[in-house]
Amino acid sequence: MCRQLEKCRRHMECACYIDAPRSPKCFTLGRSKNTIPPHRPPSQTMSLLMMLRTLGRTALSITPLGMGCWPIAGITSIDVNEDDSLATIRAAFDTGISFFDTAYCYGFDGESERMIASVLRQDREKIVLATKGGIHWVAGKQARCGRPETLRRECDESLRRLQTDRIDLYYLHAPDPHVPIEESAGAIGELIQQGKVQSAGLSNANVGSLDRFHRACPLTAYQPHFNMLQREIEDAQLPWCVEHGVAVIVYWPLMKGLLAGHLPREHVFDSKDGRQKYPMFSGDEWQKNQDFVDELRAMAIEIERPVSQIVLNWTIQRHGITAALCGAKRPHQIRENAESLSWSLTSGQITRINTAIAARGPIVSKAAVS
């Protein structure tokens, strides 16, 4: 658990903890029992008193929102610069976010991992670090390799970039179709035995791969895409994770900004903007999605909360979801996202959102890694 937050929990008198369980784990897997009282100013509560959730069956605890550190690498996002990226990492930490997620391939030369180290190496004991191996860059294109020797080499390089002696959660970024997943899992198991890694994760996988990996090396976490419109994991992967005590850490809760409510219907994407390759951002799908976001915008006006906070609040209340990863390029973005932990949607509001989701109907979905 983040030591700073645990210290606050033991020594500060706060209404947040009057009814909290005596165990240091205030959240069970994917289910929140406590939220920061809305009457307390976020500036006073969020930085020190964010509620924590247990990471699978480990002793690690994480904030329900983590910072996803892909956008700051600037590969598919436009208008990214190092100063803003470093400031965004610091802003995330200052708001109380203690969970940072990156990968070997987040940047052509590990820029994301290096920036995390630059900002947070002095606060290493106060955060939980997750990174991934198995995807790298070749001539400007992503290549997948899950061979044990590759994972060992990439893990060692990630440790150097992050300037740390251990990685709290190490994922196989995606199964390699040319390498039995048991071999990849075995390599991560060896890294755990060596003390370089504390727990194992798997991303971008189906239930069959989850089960095979878990048999070879017990899984702590699974990382898929998931949001109000892309809920494919609810059919199989999510129930499997709940049954096996595996944490579910989702990316794309705001679907690359679509569900943040800031993109107008008439928005024209820059030619360098990577979102254009996803069907949700063009044609009829774009119009239908804007109709859905209009429903969220109406609710946002009524309850005086940003659309992004409504979406994130809904996401972290879903059964089985342990945490949501929010990408950000500017400090104000991560601060706005973090404030979604300072209040809670009512059951009636959640029902209204679910009705709007059902009315939106089937979508054309595309995965980040296929």
Q: Which of 58, 89, 53, 54 is nearest to 71 (CA)?
A: 89
Kindly name the residue from 106, 170, 222, 278 that is annotated as catalytic. 106
**Pairwise CA distance, residues 310 & 336, whole Å:** 11
8 A C-beta contact, residue 224 and residue 323: no
Fill in the amino acid letter for 47: S
Rounded to the nearest 5°, which phi and psi values hold at 362? -60, 145
Which position has the token pair 């755990």?
A: 192
CB-CB neighbours of 42 under 10 Å = 17
**What are the structure tokens assigned to 32, written together?**
């929140």
**Pairwise CA distance, residues 46 & 353, whole Å:** 26
Which position has the token pair 């702590």?
A: 220
**Pairwise CA distance, residues 250 & 182, whole Å:** 23
Q: What is the DSSP string of 336-369?
A: HHHGGGGS---HHHHHHHHHHHHHH-------S-
- Determine whether 106 is an active site residue: yes
**Pairwise CA distance, residues 257 & 52, whole Å:** 25
Query: Active-site residue numbers?
Result: 106
